[in-house]
């Protein structure tokens, strides 16, 4: 069986920083479901004055717009504000704590797995000696990586606990990624960032990282273009697209801004 190799897009980078939820593990869907349970309960108990704002939390559009890639409290405040609700500390903490309880139950039950294509890419980069970091605003990122068996592939893991200890602002501020690159001892301009969240690709772009790779697992015709608009130079559906087998005469290239893929209609 031929050994896979990494396409030049990443092979030429000095280091790679990966987001965790939705990039390495399929935990983004669990985060979204946990937020929906917490927000819907809060909306029932504290119905907005405007009837239009009483609709349930949408686990796709509301999740991507308000909470994906952001620190937990920032995401809670963003959604509550969008519905005209109280964003004081007590309200934000209440809904965030409810979400945390649901998510932790799923995490400890073993419901979350790693994406096979991402694991293949991580192992190929690690085999090639490319320094790797994981950077996530989630306080559970380290435990997630350990549970799915890939934590040992990363030279640095910057999770939400470390981020809060250092006082790093959340995405789209690039501080989290800049700290991860510093931990690896590599400059941002020679370090790739791999993200699935709009706030994350914007953070990579603002931090001067190159390349910034967006992961569009929704493939709904809108998220891919939105990732590009926020700073992704390359968008893939799965990170296995950045691998090729040596004997393949014409490997399928990653979808880049210079050679855009056809979006689903």
* Cβ–Cβ under 8 Å, residues 23 and 134: no
One-character DSSP codes across 117-148: HHHHHHHHHHHTT--EEEE-S-TTHHHHHHHT
Separation of alpha carbons 90 and 157, rounded Å: 30
Q: Which of 207, 76, 240 is nearest to 135 (CA)?
A: 207
Active site residue 62: no
Q: Which of 14, 19, 128, 152 is catalytic?
A: 19
19 is catalytic: yes
Under 8 Å between Cβ of 261 and 241: no
Helix, strand, coil shares, percent, the chain, to 5: 50, 10, 40
b/e burial code for range 132-148 (CB count within 10 A of at least 16 → b)? bbbbbbbbbbbbbbebb
d(CA 116, CA 226): 25
The CA distance from 89 to 93, in Å, is: 6
Q: How far apart are CA 214 and CA 66, in angstroms?
A: 18
Active site residues: 19, 21
């Amino acid at each position: 069986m031929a050994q896979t190799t990494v396409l030049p897009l990443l092979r030429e980078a000095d280091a790679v920083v990966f987001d965790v939820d939705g990039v390495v593990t399929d935990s983004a869907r669990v985060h979204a479901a946990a937020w929906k349970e917490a927000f819907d309960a809060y909306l029932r108990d504290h119905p907005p004055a405007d009837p239009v704002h009483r609709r349930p939390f949408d686990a796709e559009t509301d999740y991507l717009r308000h909470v994906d890639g952001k620190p937990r409290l920032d995401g809670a405040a963003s959604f509550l504000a969008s519905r005209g609700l109280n964003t004081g500390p007590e309200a934000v903490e209440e809904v965030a704590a409810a979400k945390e309880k649901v998510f932790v139950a799923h995490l400890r039950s073993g419901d979350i797995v790693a994406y096979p294509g991402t694991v293949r890419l991580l192992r190929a980069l690690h085999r090639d000696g490319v320094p790797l970091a994981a950077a996530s605003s989630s306080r559970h990122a380290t435990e997630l990586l350990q549970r799915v068996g890939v934590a040992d592939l990363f030279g640095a893991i910057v999770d939400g606990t470390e981020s809060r200890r250092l006082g790093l602002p959340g995405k789209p501020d690039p501080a989290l990624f800049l700290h991860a690159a510093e931990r690896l001892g590599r400059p941002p301009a020679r370090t790739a960032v791999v993200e699935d969240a709009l706030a994350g690709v914007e953070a990579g772009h603002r931090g001067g990282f190159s390349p910034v790779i967006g992961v569009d697992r929704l493939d709904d015709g809108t998220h891919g273009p939105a990732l590009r608009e926020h700073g992704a130079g390359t968008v893939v559906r799965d990170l296995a697209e950045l691998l090729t087998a040596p004997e393949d005469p014409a490997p399928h290239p990653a979808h880049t801004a210079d050679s855009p893929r056809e979006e689903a209609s």
